[in-house]
Structure 1
Amino acid sequence: MPNRHVVVWITAVAAMWMYIDRVCVSILADPIQTDLGLTDRERARALGAFFFTYALMQIPGGALADRFGPRLVLTLCIAAWSIVTAATGLVWSFAALVVVRLLLGISEAGAYPAAAGLVKRWARPDERGRFSATVAAGGRLGGAVAPAMTAVLAAALVAVGMVTWGENPSGVHWRGVFVVYGLFGIVVAVGFWAFVRDKPPEGIAEAAPAYAPEPDPAAEWHARPPAAPRRELSFLGRLGLLARTPNMWLFGIIQFCVNLSWAFLITLLPTFLKDADVDLGVRGWVQSGVLFAGCVGTFLGGYVADGCRRRFGPRWGRSGPMMAMMGTCCVTCAVAAAGPPLWVVVAMLVMMSLCQDVGVPSIWAFAQDVGGRNVGAALGWGNMLGNFGAALSPILLTEVQIAGGWGAAFGVGAVAYAVAVGCGLFLDATKPVEEEG
């Protein structure tokens, strides 16, 4: 039986591979557009299609993890998204590309809600921020290495003379990249199933708190024995419970706003760099550097989340880090919108990536605090609304950029972050979902 640290690190590896498969398409978007003959708007819609189904399936994915266990659901997710990633190398048209992007969204949707449930089962309350940060950092690391690794792999496949198929006027072997990533993902799925369990065995010392935790209204409410046995909620029951909870709407709006801005980094940043006459290979390294700042931020955010909760309590200890970081992101987007030199914009995007991800562990921990038995569905609710923002991001920002340039697009990001800060003022981690429902 693995200990809780091993379980968390293996889950982080799964998250890393999920982001590699998710982000690699952005660095390959230009050769895909060339080979398939796509317009700029078609490319933006194909990039956004993933987030649409990813958003729609968040709550069903979380509910399945709550019902059947995170181990089974997450293993199936890894296998499914790996198959779809490999299939991306076979697309021949805009319609086919949209279909595989929609399927990728469906197959990845249950991963983070299931991972949140797994962390809650294996972590003590004072470890949730750090453990959630480890898993989220795994995803961010995958996103960070994906652009540079993808550019190198595509060049290597051409160098070894690997046969391509279909029209290839771009000269970039993007199809083989997707196939290689998909095959390796199957290995990750097998390894996850072999080494991870849903929860520690009854009475394991490592899973039990070795101290008397501080009072937590949410935890105390959930710990009270119910007057009568509570029946398991159906999917519609969970959805109705979340929809009746004002706290969860605030949680979702925050994620909608921050993802509307952040998704630029994994969808349109290579296009922005292309318009600035940056070479394809350099684009990959720049995007990787920006996203790597997010890895650092996520790692730091785990300690920030746990430290703020101890210092300020569950109410402001959860919402405070979110508001501080999103406020800083608002400033960085506003500076980028003012039209400074290219590398000043890149520096602002690095800061935005860092600060946004410092707040991510607090977002996960908030869902774990208030979700109770429905923690997967609770995180899924926030992720659903958040990824509607991500789905809208490349479409909206492309239209804004066409109409007003990249400065206007960065201005939209600044406004979105400002709205997130406002919602954070009213977010309250001391109100469990069941109690509000």
Structure 2
Amino acid sequence: MSQTHLADRDRPPTAGRRSYRMLWIMLFGGWLFAYADRAITGPVVTWMIDNDVSFMHAAQNPHALGGLIGSLFFAGYMLTQLPSGSLGDRYGHATMLVVSFVWAGVATIISGAITGLFVFVAMRVLTGLGEGAFYSNDRALIVAHTPAPERSLGLGVAITGLAFGLTVANIAAPPLLDFGASVLGKEQGWRMPFLIFGVLTLLVSAVMWWFLRRLVGRLRPGRPALRLLGVSAVFCALIMALFWASDSLGLPEWASALAQVALALAIVFVMRRRGAFGQPRARRGGSGVIDRETLLIYVAGIAILWSIWLFGYWSVAIVSSAADSSLVEAGLTAAFNAGAGIIGFPVGGWLSDRALQRGWGRRNLLIAATVAQGVLVLLFGIYLQNVQQPSLWVMGLLLFATGLFLNAVQPMSQALTADLVRDESRGAAFGMWNLIAEIGAVASPVVSGALRDTTGSWSTAVYVDAGLVLASAFLYLGVRRTGPLARDDAGPEGGPAHGESVVASAGD
């Protein structure tokens, strides 16, 4: 094991118990700008469609094409989850976080500086490939430096930045687009949000580098950055080849999205065959990186990401279409869904920790929250379908309630995953969680957009989401194991000692 790896994952925080809370705050900022960078694509694409920007205006099904652009971003984001998690396990999770964030800032700026549909899509794919390194390493670093009784809370506090990022993107994108149109002209105004958020992301990456260097010591991003670049170049070529082939053959956008999902599943199969998930279970004592228990959690995560990016990508369009409102009014209403994460993420994490300590089990609470989310999404779809002129206030209230439970289930699921895998495999496990779960993010924007073009309404897309969420609750019932069969070492500051299992995490 390399020294970088030891310093990053195993060494206690340099400033004692206070450092892990500062780590939560720093990674909160990372999530905020990472999600703002990706979430601005939805309002920008909606603005392109409404303002007849040339390369969107020529599309026969503009909403489906707009959804495909978002799906291709997530195809890139999805494909680097597992490789970047493994690189973090080897070279250091803090190092990979810095690489990911600098990459995201540069790629977002370039997205706003280029011209042409194919190049624009390629830059969104590259942005996703770089940001794919953030999730698995963020989760693993928090788990490594946070006492076990506060682990789920830490995961929830940090990822609350996701909700702030979605909220900022929904609220800031419309005025930035108007400002861009006034400065750059109507045809070029879409560039402004990418340029502004890209520069801000680079500034935050400098602060992140400074903090993580104090936390874990010197960072050496050169070699892991080159390895990630090599992997990303291959993935980008594959994704863009599929996009080009789909466009040349005239395939529907949803078929291209399905091809991206097939590519991801093929990569999982190849990496499993090559032993990328560690030694076989019989020799390792059940690492749980990918086995029956963890696979159920990973697959259930598809519904989580589907919901996030149905509403995160299309909520502005859903509200503006249903209520016939302006883009600014729709953005403010849609922000209720994203803003719910400000409460949902930390409260969900806190409740998950309390459920574990009181013997109720993380799993049972996760099931209850998932069912509540599914019912609320179903009510939202019924409201859209049956009310002739939906109220912005009612839609905002339903979006907030839905987002509250949607965001609460994420830290619950992630903490349950951490309970089930060995310490040295957590980066790969979180990478696998997000790789499989991102199938929902890849498919959701384009399938939902295609359903909107086909039916003329967003209610069908909302019903599909409700069905997936409720189905995922049944998958959690199959999680029975309470933790890995054994651990190699004690967790940091209060983690289980050698040989102990994590008791009652599933709540059998």
Q: TM-score, normalised by structure 1?
A: 0.84
The offset of 1:383, in angstroms, is: 0.8
- From the superposition, tell whether residues 395 and 158 of structure 1 become closer, same or farther in structure 2 (CA, over 3 Å): closer
Equivalent position to 2:462, from 410, 416, 419 = 410
Return the alpha-carbon distance in structure 1 between the equivalents of residues 289 and 421 of structure 2. 13
Return the alpha-carbon distance in structure 1 between the equivalents of residues 378 and 349 of structure 2. 27
- From the superposition, tell whether residues 235 and 278 of structure 1 become closer, same or farther in structure 2 (CA, over 3 Å): farther
Return the alpha-carbon distance in structure 2 between the equivalents of residues 189 and 45 of structure 1. 29
**2:253 matched residue in structure 1:** none
Return the alpha-carbon distance in structure 1 between the equivalents of residues 350 and 446 of structure 2. 35
- From the superposition, tell whether residues 244 and 286 of structure 1 become closer, same or farther in structure 2 (CA, over 3 Å): closer
Equivalent position to 2:55, from 37, 45, 49 = 37
**1:389 matched residue in structure 2:** 440
**2:340 matched residue in structure 1:** 293
Return the alpha-carbon distance in structure 2 between the equivalents of residues 252 and 383 of structure 1. 7
Equivalent position to 1:324, from 368, 373, 376 = 368
**2:246 matched residue in structure 1:** none
Return the alpha-carbon distance in structure 1 between the equivalents of residues 87 and 20 of structure 2. 22
Match of 1:267, as an amino acid? Answer: Y
The offset of 1:13, in angstroms, is: 0.8
CA contact (8 A) 2:181 2:190 kept: no
Equivalent position to 2:430, from 379, 396, 399 = 379
Question: Aligned ranges for residues 244-259 of structure 1 at < 5 Å?
Answer: 244-259=290-305
Report the more deviating stretch, 130-139 or 328-337: 328-337
CA contact (8 A) 1:371 1:433 kept: no
Count of matched residue positions in the alignment of Structure 1 and Structure 2: 395
Return the alpha-carbon distance in structure 2 between the equivalents of residues 417 and 434 of structure 1. 32
- From the superposition, tell whether residues 157 and 131 of structure 1 become closer, same or farther in structure 2 (CA, over 3 Å): same
| Ranges in structure 2 where 5+ consecutive residues have no aligned partner | 1-13, 218-271, 281-287, 488-508
**1:275 matched residue in structure 2:** 321
The offset of 1:46, in angstroms, is: 0.6
Question: Aligned ranges for residues 42-53 of structure 1 at < 5 Å?
Answer: 42-53=65-76
Match of 1:383, as an amino acid? Answer: N
Return the alpha-carbon distance in structure 2 between the equivalents of residues 283 and 369 of structure 1. 40
Question: Deviation string for 1:95-131 (max 9, x for gaps)?
Answer: 1222112111101111011111111121000010111
**1:311 matched residue in structure 2:** 358
**2:11 matched residue in structure 1:** none
CA contact (8 A) 2:319 2:395 kept: no
Match of 1:42, as an amino acid? Answer: L
**1:116 matched residue in structure 2:** 139
**1:366 matched residue in structure 2:** 416
Match of 2:138, as an amino acid? Answer: A
**1:196 matched residue in structure 2:** 212
When the two chains are superposed, the root-mean-square deviation of aligned CA atoms in Å is 2.5
Match of 2:296, as an amino acid? Answer: L
- From the superposition, tell whether residues 128 and 324 of structure 1 become closer, same or farther in structure 2 (CA, over 3 Å): same
Question: Deviation string for 1:185-208 (max 9, x for gaps)?
Answer: 11111111111249669xxxxxxx
CA contact (8 A) 2:65 2:446 kept: no
Equivalent position to 1:302, from 349, 353, 359 = 349
SS across alignment from 1:196: helix
CA contact (8 A) 2:66 2:446 kept: no
The offset of 1:434, in angstroms, is: 8.0
**1:181 matched residue in structure 2:** 197
SS across alignment from 1:182: helix
SS across alignment from 1:283: helix
The offset of 1:419, in angstroms, is: 1.2
Match of 2:276, as an amino acid? Answer: G
**1:63 matched residue in structure 2:** 86
CA contact (8 A) 2:296 2:478 kept: yes
CA contact (8 A) 1:36 1:92 kept: no
Return the alpha-carbon distance in structure 2 between the equivalents of residues 401 and 157 of structure 1. 28
CA contact (8 A) 2:310 2:444 kept: yes
SS across alignment from 2:277: helix
SS across alignment from 1:28: helix
Match of 1:374, as an amino acid? Answer: S
| Ranges in structure 1 where 5+ consecutive residues have no aligned partner | 202-232
- From the superposition, tell whether residues 429 and 348 of structure 1 become closer, same or farther in structure 2 (CA, over 3 Å): farther
Return the alpha-carbon distance in structure 2 between the equivalents of residues 352 and 429 of structure 1. 29
The offset of 1:254, in angstroms, is: 0.7
Question: Deviation string for 1:19-49 (max 9, x for gaps)?
Answer: 1111111111123343233232211111111
Equivalent position to 2:403, from 353, 376, 389 = 353
Match of 2:45, as an amino acid? Answer: A
The offset of 1:262, in angstroms, is: 2.6
Q: TM-score, normalised by structure 2?
A: 0.73
The offset of 1:89, in angstroms, is: 0.7
- From the superposition, tell whether residues 254 and 248 of structure 1 become closer, same or farther in structure 2 (CA, over 3 Å): same
Return the alpha-carbon distance in structure 1 between the equivalents of residues 356 and 471 of structure 2. 23
The offset of 1:92, in angstroms, is: 2.2
Report % sequence identity.
20
SS across alignment from 1:389: helix
Match of 2:400, as an amino acid? Answer: V
**1:144 matched residue in structure 2:** 167
**1:13 matched residue in structure 2:** 29
CA contact (8 A) 2:96 2:137 kept: yes
CA contact (8 A) 1:302 1:361 kept: yes
Equivalent position to 1:237, from 263, 276, 301 = 276
